[in-house]
Structure 1
Amino acid sequence: MIRIKAGVPHRRRPRNSSRHSRCALTLGLPTAWGAVAVSYKFGCPLAEQHGLGARIVTSAVFFAVGTGLILHVRRTLLRELRQARKVAGAAQSVLLRPLPPRLAGLNVAAAQLSADRGAAIGGDLYEAVATEHGVRVVMGDVRGHGLAATGTAAAVLGSFREAAHDEPELGRVLGRLDRALARHLRERARAEHPSSGVDPDNPVAEEFVTLLLLEIAGDGDVRAINCGHPWPYLLCGQRVVPLSGAEPLPPLGPFPLPANPAATDCGRLHSGESLVLYTDGAEDARDARGRFFSLPQALAAAAREPSASPQAILRTVFTALLHHTGGRPADDIALLVLNNERAQQRAFLGARGTGRAATTHPQPTTNR
């Protein structure tokens, strides 16, 4: 239903007219203040006197004019900064959109901590989508951070959101991401060096992306392809173990991929267990004395909490990270937590169907 507000129709002022009036106001006020100061200096008899009282009055007038000018410029700059941050926040939310709290029976939580002050995202990327092939997840880390890294992350994420649904095999998804990255780097190199007129042979040779592709089937089986990225941690109760110890492939960008990259079987994610994907900024974070942050220790502490939900795990780990680095991480940090709650959901639905409360313990029987 569309609601239309009744009232007297009015003519909308053109956007260009509003912009011109704002610019005129911004330039006109300092000019008016300056004209008042000059007129006072040369036209007011008090300004031509040499007594102490006249000097105090003159200084006060110029001080007031200068203060007003500074306050006006500051107010204008703050207004423009707020507008720029609002636009940047909207663009960042489109690029690294919030993940749904539940995805095909998995409880999901993700967050990122950017090393750039005032930026919500940097060179880290993540996404999780439910497809007919299972829940597919990507976690990546672009070399460096800032606007250039954000553009590269956007190219990889855009390709994953399409390929994750279209390609039946993880290896083919990885091939799509590799081609998208190469195309993006060629276009960026052409934009940075437009005078050549041809595509460079080795565009932006130092750029690369570490990447982890993960697929969780309906029965909990986990398969992954790792391109130079840290392996996730598996939380089994209060135990924290790496998901796999297989040798990863090289990062995307500087080296060609194998012809048919095969996914690694990583076992099964059982009910109640969690996977924690992260970027290397988490384990590379140092304190003032140069000591590295222990991510497994922080995850073990989070798993001991009474409610070890993905959101609680993120909160505990990021609090420990900020405390360890003094609130100033040197690199972008991203974490994504996946908790398997499919068995609990099936038990709950079964209990609703039978009209009884589900229980995980067998009920005692009596012999008659």
Structure 2
Amino acid sequence: MPLRQRPRATPSRDPGRTWRTDDRVLTALVLVLIVLITAVDILSPPHIHLGPLLIVAPALTASFAGARGTAAVALLAIAALTFIGLARDGLTTANHQTQLGAQAVVSTLIVGLRVLRDRHERELARVRTVSEAAQRVLLRPLPERIGPLRLASVYLAAEAEAQVGGDLYAAARTATGTRLLVGDVRGKGLSSLGDAALLLGAFRAAAHLHAELPDLAAYLDGSVSWDLAQLAEQKRIAKGEVGEEAGESFITAVLLDIPDDGTEVRLVDCGHPPPLLLRPDGVTALAARRPSPPLGLGELAPARYEVETFPFGPGDRLLIYTDGVIEARDAQRRFYPLTERVAAWCGEQPGTLLRRLRGDLLEHVGGHLDDDAAMVVVDRLDRLPGGGPPGSRRRA
């Protein structure tokens, strides 16, 4: 199943939600603080007034509770200040009236700010809901099992609110095996979402129609080139730049064809980082000898795409990734050492491997990626999910 990055700025709890245990503990501490300030003020000498410190109670509550909880604590603090006045000099003195007025004004400001924050967080939650819905439609989760393969994936969006961007992956069954696509649109975040949708739609429509991988690659390039050119033209017209050259957008991609029979994988590399073959004896990059240009460059497309063949037998594992992984830098501007790190976790299950890589990658960059990143793990099993050896049956 796909693993998605957790948002870096989690929305605050909704005012109407059930409080967690931590919130109850914090609320109890605030109530204890109100009682303590009230008691100390009443017992203090006449010239010492600690009542104004009660404003700390709603200010602290606003940091973990919603507007309703903050308002309730603010009213309780005002009530405590009123009780202090009654217990000491009465409420008719100018000092207590000033304190009560100031407490009411500041408490109102605190509650108002909390209301604005709650509104902003609700809007952010709606944006994230829409983003997650778009991700489910556009970037469909890869199946855990497909033919003689076991799959796992992780997507890390550079924009925390987006949850999806220009990196993409998809899988499709054919009459003889499984085809995979992993790609990376130039750019990041929501601005590249449309280009990713173009390629994914073309792949899903044609993956099972073209018997040869070069034909599929040519179809994908032709499909996205025209759309990208039209989109670039629209952008130039909007900016008043009609007449300038096109070609600002492109998509790096790697196409893989893994037959159910045999012990190999065939791939077409269109300017994409090479997949890694993971075995107990080491990690090998499946680098194409003659990689093709990225998709969407129109006239730069080759007359025929080159297919590279590599060994991939039962028990072998592939890690396919986008450049957002290997180009991630730490505070010292050092790139993430993917090959070195993944070699230490080759024996892990696919989901565990990706969880380790995700956590390690985010730790390397300090929790924030500058570019979208995606990783897909492919295991070739000894047997099909139904129990038969690979090739014993076909799936449409």
Coarse TM-score class (shorter-chain normalised): 0.7 to 0.9
The answer to whether 1:329 aligns with 2:369 is: yes
> RMSD of the alignment, in Å?
2.8
Q: How many residues align?
A: 296
Kept after mapping to 1: 8 A contact 2:149/2:379: yes
CA deviation map 1:143-168 (0-9, x unaligned): 12021211111111111111101212
Query: 2 CA distance for matches of 1:250 and 1:345?
Result: 35
Cα gap change, 1:347 to 1:178, in 2 (>3 Å) = closer
CA deviation map 1:67-103 (0-9, x unaligned): 3333332222222221221121111121111100001
Kept after mapping to 2: 8 A contact 1:186/1:200: no
Which residue among 95, 120, 138 is the counterpart of 1:77? 120
Query: 1 CA distance for matches of 2:178 and 2:102?
Result: 71
**Unaligned ranges ≥5, structure 2:** 1-91, 390-396
Cα gap change, 1:196 to 1:228, in 2 (>3 Å) = closer
SS at match of 1:311: helix
Identity %: 36
CA deviation map 1:8-47 (0-9, x unaligned): xxxxxxxxxxxxxxxxxxxxxxxxxxxxxxxxxxxxxxxx
Which amino acid in the other structure matches residue 89 of structure 1? E
Match of 2:283 in 1: 240
Kept after mapping to 2: 8 A contact 1:112/1:333: yes
The alpha-carbon deviation at position 59 of structure 1 amounts to 3.2
Query: 1 CA distance for matches of 2:239 and 2:286?
Result: 47
The answer to whether 1:230 aligns with 2:268 is: no
**Unaligned ranges ≥5, structure 1:** 1-48, 351-368
Match of 2:300 in 1: 256
The answer to whether 1:115 aligns with 2:155 is: no
The answer to whether 1:209 aligns with 2:251 is: yes
Of 225-234 and 329-338, deviating more is 329-338
The alpha-carbon deviation at position 52 of structure 1 amounts to 5.1
SS at match of 1:327: coil
Kept after mapping to 1: 8 A contact 2:180/2:255: yes
Query: 1 CA distance for matches of 2:189 and 2:385?
Result: 44
Cα gap change, 1:250 to 1:58, in 2 (>3 Å) = same
Match of 1:22 in 2: none
Query: 1 CA distance for matches of 2:116 and 2:103?
Result: 20
When normalised by structure 2's length, the TM-score is 0.68
The alpha-carbon deviation at position 124 of structure 1 amounts to 0.9
Match of 2:37 in 1: none
The answer to whether 1:86 aligns with 2:126 is: no
Cα gap change, 1:242 to 1:337, in 2 (>3 Å) = same
Which residue among 302, 310, 313 is the counterpart of 2:350? 310
Kept after mapping to 2: 8 A contact 1:238/1:300: no
Kept after mapping to 1: 8 A contact 2:236/2:242: no
Kept after mapping to 1: 8 A contact 2:166/2:185: yes
Cα gap change, 1:194 to 1:243, in 2 (>3 Å) = closer
Which amino acid in the other structure matches residue 126 of structure 2? Q
Kept after mapping to 2: 8 A contact 1:115/1:330: yes
Which amino acid in the other structure matches residue 164 of structure 1? A
The alpha-carbon deviation at position 198 of structure 1 amounts to 12
CA deviation map 1:237-258 (0-9, x unaligned): 2311122441211112335212
The alpha-carbon deviation at position 195 of structure 1 amounts to 6.3
Match of 2:36 in 1: none
Cα gap change, 1:65 to 1:88, in 2 (>3 Å) = same
Query: 1 CA distance for matches of 2:260 and 2:132?
Result: 35
Match of 1:142 in 2: 185
Query: 2 CA distance for matches of 1:262 and 1:249?
Result: 7
Match of 1:359 in 2: none
Alignment of 1:1-368 (within 5 A): 54-193=97-236, 202-203=245-246, 205-219=247-261, 220-254=263-297, 255-264=299-308, 266-303=309-346, 305=347, 308-341=348-381, 343-345=382-384, 349=388
Of 55-64 and 278-287, deviating more is 55-64
Cα gap change, 1:283 to 1:71, in 2 (>3 Å) = closer
Cα gap change, 1:68 to 1:314, in 2 (>3 Å) = closer
